[in-house]
Amino acid sequence: MTVQQGLTEQPPGLRTGIRARVADLHATRERARGGPSERATRAQHAKGKLTARERIDVLLDAGSFNEIEQLRRHRAAGFGIEDRRPHTDGVIAGWGTVEGHTVFVYAHDFRIFGGALGEAHAEKIQKVMDMAVAAGAPLVSLNDGAGARIQEGVSALAGYGGIFRRNVRASGVIPQISVILGPCAGGSAYSPALTDFVFMVRGTSQMFITGPDVVKAVTGEDVSQEKLGGADVHAQVSGVAHFVYEDEWTCLGEVRYLLSLLPSNNRQIPPAVPCVDPDDRRNDALLGLVPAEGRLPYDIRRVIEEIVDHGDFLEVHEGWARNVVCGLARLGGQVVGIVANQPLALAGVLDIKASEKAARFVRTCDAFNIPLLSLVDVPGFLPGVDQEHDGVIRHGAKLLYAYCEATVARIQLILRKAYGGAYIVMDSRSIGADLSYAWPTNEIAVMGAEGAANVIFRKRIVEADDPEALRAQLVKEYRSELMHPYYAAERGLVDDVIDPVETRALLIRAFRMLRSKHADQPSRKHANIPL
């Protein structure tokens, strides 16, 4: 028999043996894919929740998922756990594509040990995290687990430590997105907190370090899981959640949309798309959206939607710190990050929460090469004893620091008022904005004309025969001399005063010019940001 014959003509007995083993492999895989039982699957569906594999199918392009370690099983013993050794060990991990781009994913399977993390479970997650960093691709975690696996003790806790360390090492290198689709309690809550974006679903998602039972035992407070750590709590009160949706399908669809706006890693720029919205489209609607009178409110989101491509704007942290608006959009097909004061909430002032929200967003955009547009209409920082005692100085410094540190293209547009330190902090030319534009309704000053006149001319006003008449006259003089629309432009602090209807066209041209911007940072181990 020739060598070639030996390769192609295997003995019938061996051929049958291979087929039997392949059949056994497929049967084993099918059991692993099916999960523990139909009963467990029905219980998951009864809660309005998809299974781990169903979630992955919704998230990724059809047929693109490649699973790793499907046949992994734990090696723990004690308390009866040695009698339950299901394949996957309660977490599905691997990679696939979203709109053709590689994305890594892991999903807790609540049907197995309640999604609790053990040693093998953690090692699978750590492996897929390492693969994501090595491949330079985003990582999405679909969280639905009850915390550490108690039967495995410290081994489970050590598994969390390895995950947290990898979260930090991947921070600013690849986008990390956490989707909370069930309980996320105890140590498991820290991993989402270390990632770039957190999604939650109303009614089924909860996050907390200590659950209601512990809270009641320690403090006497009686609170439900939803009131303690539900989606709306984290979206509106704590600021932990960036996005909240009504159901898992919508939530996972929005994760796909967010991924379409992000680069795969920090060495790439965000993906551009063809744009049929004309670059030179006039913004005549802006003349009616923004009142010239600085005290009158308006919705800055309508301004943003008028400027950006097709009015599409993905707002981040929509329900938290509403006095500043942050989000992603496209201008001329290119992704930009937008930070804007919101006159509808607290007149658009900066306070502790708004400063933290905007600072985090600025740093996220800078990490992933997303240019920044700052729309300014800010009367200052919020005054008050609580703000000062709670550290508005150091929190406001976070936003200042974030802008000063950012090396991406940065454009400031002043719509109306820009007073005091808040004007500086909102990416003024003096802290490194590449370009600064203003509408003819702009007022840039240390403070409003009324306040300035009261400080500068206090004695004259008090001694006047008609204090109110003199105050009105002095306010008018101060505004005409130091707050007219061209004052900053005359001093080179604003590059141009523009017609609002030309806003979109000008911004697209400016960002296109800045697309190749490069800025070197000083050599250092790391910076020391304000706490």
Query: Is residue 384 annotated as part of the catalytic site, yes or no?
Result: no
Q: What letter would DSSP give residue 283? A: -
Q: What letter would DSSP give residue 296? A: S
Query: Is residue 96 annotated as part of the catalytic site, yes or no?
Result: no
Of the candidates 442, 439, 469, the residue with the CA atom closest to the CA atom of residue 453: 469
Among the listed residues 114, 136, 153, 421, the single catalytic one is 421
Angle at 317 between CA 371 and CA 238, to 5 degrees: 135
Residue 437 amino acid letter: Y
Among the listed residues 145, 186, 229, 337, the single catalytic one is 186
Among the listed residues 122, 358, 402, 422, the single catalytic one is 422
Q: How far apart are CA 495 and CA 410, in angstroms?
A: 13
Q: How far apart are CA 94 and CA 471, in angstroms?
A: 70
Query: Is residue 187 annotated as part of the catalytic site, yes or no?
Result: yes
Angle at 321 between CA 315 and CA 325, to 5 degrees: 35
Angle at 359 between CA 354 and CA 364, to 5 degrees: 130
Show the beta-strand stretches assigned E in 23-130: 66-68, 91-98, 101-108
Strand, coil or helix: 392: helix
Query: Is residue 380 annotated as part of the catalytic site, yes or no?
Result: no
Among the listed residues 90, 118, 187, 211, the single catalytic one is 187
Strand, coil or helix: 248: helix
Beta-ladder partners of 200: 180, 244
Contact 95, 292 (CB under 8 A): no
Q: How far apart are CA 167 and CA 178, in angstroms?
A: 11
Tell the residue number behind the tokens 């990416």, with chain if given: 427
- The residues carrying an active-site annotation are 186-187, 421-422
